[in-house]
Structure 1
């Protein structure tokens, strides 16, 4: 049985607790490992950078379905607000009105609604996309500020959307289970008066099971100011990320069972 994936937080996420995480080459100085919890269930996992206020990456199972895209509110993550017993993502208004947090307490370690309200030329770029999930609950759980980055509008609506909606279905033909890690490389620019990092690149890697055959894997990367996606092998993507993250430690996203070529 293939032992893949995902990130260190998955050791505590019940549904993928046996999986092998990527190495720590991408870990930021001030990380948070989040089991994304909504409607009493775990849905995917995120490694979050509390200083830059963006996710490093989100890891999930690719399971597209016909459920309608929800008119969901945007959530924040109580787990990032000091010591409390709240495990489920929640609207910031609920945290303020019902749980007596202040807005400053919420903003200290994560992005909030106002950070994305005045974006120009940028969109809410999901790392775990709504359309890669099947149920209403799974889709709704992707609408959290710990799962998005400021993404170039033309890219988000153009070639990155094409990768998510057309390339992924084609690549996963014949796969029984597909695991995905999608991330963002921190950039030198910021939005919201310096509060939120604008990534220089967005990337995605996938590894899938094909019955009892050798698994297959692939990757993609795009600069966050161009409407262009480069399709790569898993090995090529790992090498590219190793350089983008300074080259001090080689990036390894999946274990050796996933082919690099």
Structure 2
């Protein structure tokens, strides 16, 4: 039996090959996030991002939505993932890597699916696959991190390559991991309600960089949160971090220091992968300049 026939039988529905963003779209794939707006503050996704080439994905696993991603088909990587930060139940689960069937065929399953042993060529052409990351000198960098998700199903859902960008190990397990833990601590200590987080990737300003001529490599990682309800007795040192906060992390040792300076006193394993903390407005200014789009991440700046 052919690989395609097996894929068809596994979804239990006829298939229609997607023609690209803006083409015929059926099922859960659509041109907006209408099925998962709860992951955005005031149910409003970031504004100002051109739709060309991007595919909104409501990330669905075990028949539930867990977060949202804006995926770039040609880059085979997300621009950002948006989620509600919650305290995790238990340890990080063991799980397999997954792909998005609806990026392949419009009538395919509406849920992310574990990669089979032999991957269909249509899957390979439509999105990143595990083989792209092998021997690439890049780790699989989560935009919506397992650390910030609550249930076992929530955490497993983050292990889909539509939520992943190529990230250097020195960043992923170093300063960027420190940032994720720092945001979690602030949420636990001071946020009284929901914390909306958007984490993304920033491409190189000049020519794109790729792994295996397939997956776009970001020069920087970035993240911002919105906590509209927070403690009324914040320490003075914490007040600048509410209701919004943002950061940019280096993903290239050779990048200039105009966005994030290098701490020369950092240990050799993480030196050059620094994370710069900043206001939401500063991050948006950087994204506007780098992406050439009038980006606004949170409705009315989370006020």
Give the TM-score of the pair, scaled to structure 1.
Answer: 0.85
Match of 1:109 in 2: 126
CA contact (8 A) 1:10 1:19 kept: no
Shift of residue 189 of structure 1? 1.1
Q: Select 1:196's aligned residue among 197, 201, 215.
A: 215
How well do the aligned residues superpose, as a CA RMSD in angstroms? Answer: 2.2
The structure with the largest strand share of the pair is 1
What is the SS of the residue equivalent to 2:33? helix
Shift of residue 204 of structure 1? 0.4
Match of 1:118 in 2: 135
Which structure 2 residues correspond to residues 73-112 of structure 1 after superposition, within 5 A? 73-93=96-116, 103-112=120-129
CA contact (8 A) 1:9 1:46 kept: no
Pair 1:59–1:14, CA change in 2 (3 A)? closer
CA distance in 2, matches of 1:234, 1:16: 18
Pair 1:80–1:169, CA change in 2 (3 A)? same
CA contact (8 A) 2:140 2:167 kept: yes
In the TM superposition, structure 1's runs of 4+ consecutive aligned residues that sit over 4 Å from their partners are 14-18, 211-215
Q: Which protein is bigger by CA-based radius of gyration? A: 2
Whether 1:217 aligns to 2:222 is: no
Match of 2:297 in 1: 253
Shift of residue 216 of structure 1? 0.3
CA contact (8 A) 1:70 1:139 kept: yes
Shift of residue 92 of structure 1? 2.3
Whether 1:235 aligns to 2:301 is: no
Unmatched runs of 5 consecutive residues or more in structure 1:
1-7, 97-101
What is the SS of the residue equivalent to 1:209? coil
CA distance in 1, matches of 2:147, 2:210: 27
Whether 1:173 aligns to 2:189 is: yes
CA contact (8 A) 2:141 2:165 kept: yes
Q: Which whole-Å deviations, capped at 9, do the CAs of 1:91-144 have from their partners, x for residues lacking one?
A: 1218x6xxxxx6210011210010112221x21100000000111000000000
Match of 1:22 in 2: 46
Match of 1:186 in 2: 203
Shift of residue 211 of structure 1? 5.3
Q: Select 1:152's aligned residue among 168, 171, 176.
A: 168
Give the TM-score of the pair, scaled to structure 2.
Answer: 0.74
